[in-house]
Amino acid sequence: MIKNLSVALLIVIGLAACAPPAPMVRPDPPADPEIEEIRALVEAGRLDQAAAGWLDLADERPESEAGYRLNALELLIETGSHDAAWSLLGDIDDAALSARERQRLTLARVEIDLHRGELANAGWRLADLADTLPNDLEARRQDLEARLREQMERPALQALKAMEQAIFSGEFTPELGLALLIELPLADLERLQSEHRHRPELEPWLALATAARAHALDPDSLSSALDEWEAAYPLTGYSAEAARFWLALWRQTQPYPVRIGVILPGRSAMARVGSAVRDGMMSAWLEIPPERRPELLFRYIGDDHRDVISAWFDLREAGVDFLVGPLEREQVDALVDLPDPGLPVLLLNHPSQTGELGASGAFRAFALLPEDDAELAAAHALVSGHDQALVLHQNSDWGQRVAMSFTRLFELGGGRVLTSAEYSTRQVDHSALLEVLLELDRSEQRINRLARTLNQPVESEPQRRTDVDVVFLAARAEDGRQIRPQLRFFGAGDVPVLATSQVIAGAPDPARDGDLDGVILAMPPWFLDFTPQGQQRQRAARLYPHLDNPNLARLHAMGADAIALLPWLDAMAMDPALYLSGLTGRLRLGDGALVERDQPMIRLVQGRAELLTQ
């Protein structure tokens, strides 16, 4: 038995000696520290630094230069530095790249072609790569192909292609360029201008269309923008005056609805309000060339919410294709509650729940809300660097709403409302309230404590708090003229005071508004005599006696702006940057449903309005 085991052991040993040796496992090559450092930058998201690292390495290692430059090129594209990437393309030697690297380079070229708008080049490069790529690069090719299809379907690129064909065929005129481009959204035009800055045959006309679109419905700003364009491109042979003439004709081609129904309040308490809005509408209607004037059908209703539904039904039966109104919020809510109004509607107030406007897509709303003025005041305070506010408001629902609007936006922007207080409209002297608001009472208490401690009188004046850097005043005109001097009396004359346009009764008047010196507010152009809109108000005052009432004057301007908006609402919904220079401010549809109103900021100086550039 032992002998057999010994023989078996010898056989195993012999076989093991005859077996091939075990393969040797070579250790991984040592990591390249410079490359690892660049990869760490990529992992950390510092792509621009990583790209610079690859370029430095390319200079140091000529044997791998092309591959390293390709790595840098891809990172530059990823960071959006397409101009730098395009410049780098000429430094890459295709012949020194591997087959896979050449495929990556072609995909990078496609990225740059898409950015520069050279879609034909991008198309043939992608077609050349079809069915040749490994899976990871094929996924990238398919993504680029989808982007190419998306860009080719864009109206902006279709218009650009038509303009290119006209230029190359010799049929191009500046008016043709404007006709092709002027109705494109401003963002699309700015993108085209950026992408084709390197093409001298296109650049002047893209710049012209961009300038024209940016100010299309603001004749005064448009005139200045066109003059600047002509100065920048004098060799085109096309004048700013010729562009102004063409654009004026283009504005006249935008159609109004054929028949417009208007719902206004008719009960006796609101009769003057309804008349002011109607007169404003009619004044704008008379400015329209007779051949373009729509038919206006007015309906005056009572205060029952069912009245607005009856008027809506009546006007639909009369064949109107657009509805303007109503004005009062309860009736606005009743109309918005309809599942489908069956025609587009421009409401003259906001509904209680503005989110409901987008449900049917038929409603848009235009209103003159003091809360909007308060938000403009808050934005101005923040932009001016103020972050510690006192808020003083009228003890009314109006005052509370205005104060809350200022506070909400001011705090959302990082500011802090230190104290908010309300004043009584029944009082003329607000000394006690202002002493508390400015903490003069605490200062006086400290003086008294010191006098008691020293057991002798202390000669000192109470000092106001020093942590406040702006005051917001939600006051109407008469109250504002009382409170502003009292703030100055209590040592706060150097603190900026912001308010809404209701702090003055209409247009600034030096004989009346001197006590409001230094107050800053947003003001409708309609009430600024140095603007074209203000001059229009002065001329209209001879025809409409109610314009001496500031509230009715606002409603008159609102009615005129409502008519002026109608041809442009759909275009504004497609282009948030498109605005109308109206009597009440710059009007735009920021969210597609609510008309936003931007107004110039002014400072009252000796009762006159001084325009602020900020």
* DSSP helix/strand/coil, 474: strand
- Residues forming beta bridges with residue 497, ordered by sequence position: 471
pLDDT (tens digit, 9 = 90+) per residue, 567-600? 999 999 989 999 999 999 999 998 888 999 999 9
- Residues forming beta bridges with residue 595, ordered by sequence position: 589
- Token digits of residue 117: 């708008």
Asked whether the predicted pLDDT for residue 515 surpasses 90, the reply is yes
The amino acid at 304: D
Residue 21: the pLDDT is 53
Percentage, residues of the chain above pLDDT 70: 90
Give the closest residue to 394 by CA, choosing from 372, 416, 426: 426
Task: Rounding to the nearest 10 degrees, give the CA dihedral for residues 431, 435, 438, 439.
Answer: 180
Q: Do the beta carbons of residue 212 and residue 247 sit within 8 Å?
A: yes
pTM, rounded to two decimals: 0.75
Q: Do the beta carbons of residue 416 and residue 407 sit within 8 Å?
A: no
Asked whether the predicted pLDDT for residue 345 surpasses 80, the reply is yes
- Residues forming beta bridges with residue 124, ordered by sequence position: none
Asked whether the predicted pLDDT for residue 117 surpasses 50, the reply is yes
Q: For residue 46, what are the contacts with CB-CB under 8 A and spacing of at least 6?
A: none
End-to-end CA distance of the chain: 109
Asked whether the predicted pLDDT for residue 489 surpasses 90, the reply is no
Asked whether the predicted pLDDT for residue 350 surpasses 80, the reply is yes
Mean pLDDT of the chain: 88
Stretch (H or E) spanning 277? helix 271-287
Asked whether the predicted pLDDT for residue 446 surpasses 70, the reply is no
Question: Burial letters for 257-271: b for 16+ Cβ neighbours within 10 Å, e otherwise?
Answer: beebbbbbbbeeebe
Cα(211)–Cα(329) distance, integer angstroms: 39
Asked whether the predicted pLDDT for residue 11 surpasses 90, the reply is no
Question: Burial letters for 540-551: b for 16+ Cβ neighbours within 10 Å, e otherwise?
Answer: beeebebbeebe
Asked whether the predicted pLDDT for residue 490 surpasses 90, the reply is no
Q: What is the DSSP letter of 23?
A: P
Sequential DSSP letters for 52-71: HHHHHHHHH-GGGHHHHHHH
Q: Do the beta carbons of residue 402 and residue 371 sit within 8 Å?
A: yes
Look up tokens 């539904």; give the residue. Answer: 309
Name the phi and psi angles at 217, rounded to 5: -110, 25
Residue 447: the pLDDT is 44
Give the closest residue to 486 by CA, choosing from 392, 596, 554, 376: 392
Q: Do the beta carbons of residue 528 and residue 216 sit within 8 Å?
A: no
Sign of CA dihedral 316, 318, 320, 324: negative
Q: What is the 3-state secondary structure (H, E, C) of 498-554?
A: EECHHHCCCCCCHHHHHHHCCCEEECCHHHCCCCHHHHHHHHHCCCCHHHHCHHHHH
Q: Do the beta carbons of residue 364 and residue 346 sit within 8 Å?
A: yes
Largest Cα span, the chain: 136
pLDDT (tens digit, 9 = 90+) per residue, 13-62? 444 444 445 455 455 567 788 888 889 998 888 999 999 999 999 999 88
Compute the radius of gyration of the chain from its Cα atoms: 36
Residue 309: the pLDDT is 94
Cα(280)–Cα(257) distance, integer angstroms: 18
Q: Do the beta carbons of residue 243 and residue 607 sit within 8 Å?
A: no
Residues 457-478 have a mean pLDDT of 78
> Among the listed ranges 228-242, 327-341, 448-462, 463-477, which one has the minimum average pLDDT value?
448-462
Considering only residues 404 and 6, tell me which one the structure prediction assigns the higher pLDDT.
404
* DSSP helix/strand/coil, 470: strand
Cα(409)–Cα(110) distance, integer angstroms: 45
Residue 123: the pLDDT is 83
Residue 590: the pLDDT is 83
pLDDT (tens digit, 9 = 90+) per residue, 283-328? 999 999 999 999 999 999 998 888 999 999 999 999 999 999 999 9
- Domains of the chain, with CATH numbers? 33-153 (1.25.40.10), 167-252 (no CATH), 256-365+536-597 (3.40.50.2300), 368-426+467-523+599-614 (3.40.50.2300)
Residue 429: the pLDDT is 85
Residue 28: the pLDDT is 53
> Among the listed ranges 248-252, 280-284, 435-439, 497-501, which one has the minimum average pLDDT value?
435-439
- Token digits of residue 255: 């159609």
Asked whether the predicted pLDDT for residue 260 surpasses 60, the reply is yes
Residues 125-153 have a mean pLDDT of 84
Asked whether the predicted pLDDT for residue 610 surpasses 80, the reply is yes
Q: Do the beta carbons of residue 582 and residue 568 sit within 8 Å?
A: no
Residue 297: the pLDDT is 97
Q: Do the beta carbons of residue 614 and residue 523 sit within 8 Å?
A: no
Give the closest residue to 390 by CA, choosing from 468, 487, 294: 468
Residue 107: the pLDDT is 92
Percentage, residues of the chain above pLDDT 90: 63
Asked whether the predicted pLDDT for residue 459 surpasses 80, the reply is no
Alpha helices in 90-199 (DSSP H): 99-116, 119-129, 135-153, 155-169, 174-181, 186-195
Residue 154: the pLDDT is 79
Residue 381: the pLDDT is 96
Residue 13: the pLDDT is 44
Residues 479-495 have a mean pLDDT of 88
Q: What is the DSSP letter of 583?
A: S
pLDDT (tens digit, 9 = 90+) per residue, 528-562? 999 999 999 999 999 998 999 999 999 999 999 99
Cβ-in-10-Å burial (0-12, 13-18, 19+) of 466 comes to exposed
Per-residue pLDDT band for 125 (boundaries 50, 70, 90) equals: confident
pLDDT (tens digit, 9 = 90+) per residue, 420-435? 999 998 888 888 888 8
Cα(228)–Cα(503) distance, integer angstroms: 38
Cα(462)–Cα(465) distance, integer angstroms: 10
Distance of CA 419 to the CA centre of its chain: 31
**Number of residues written out for the chain:** 614
> Among the listed ranges 190-194, 386-390, 449-453, 564-568, which one has the minimum average pLDDT value?
449-453
Cα(420)–Cα(437) distance, integer angstroms: 8
Look up tokens 């990437």; give the residue. Answer: 85
Residue 116: the pLDDT is 73
Q: For residue 166, what are the contacts with CB-CB under 8 A and spacing of at least 6?
A: 172, 176, 177
- Residues forming beta bridges with residue 339, ordered by sequence position: none
Residues 73-93 have a mean pLDDT of 88
Residue 440: the pLDDT is 53
- Here the contacts of 588-594 (C-beta below 8 Å, separation 24 or greater) are 589/364, 591/358, 592/358, 592/364, 593/354, 593/357, 593/358, 593/363, 593/364, 593/365, 594/350, 594/354, 594/357, 594/364, 594/365
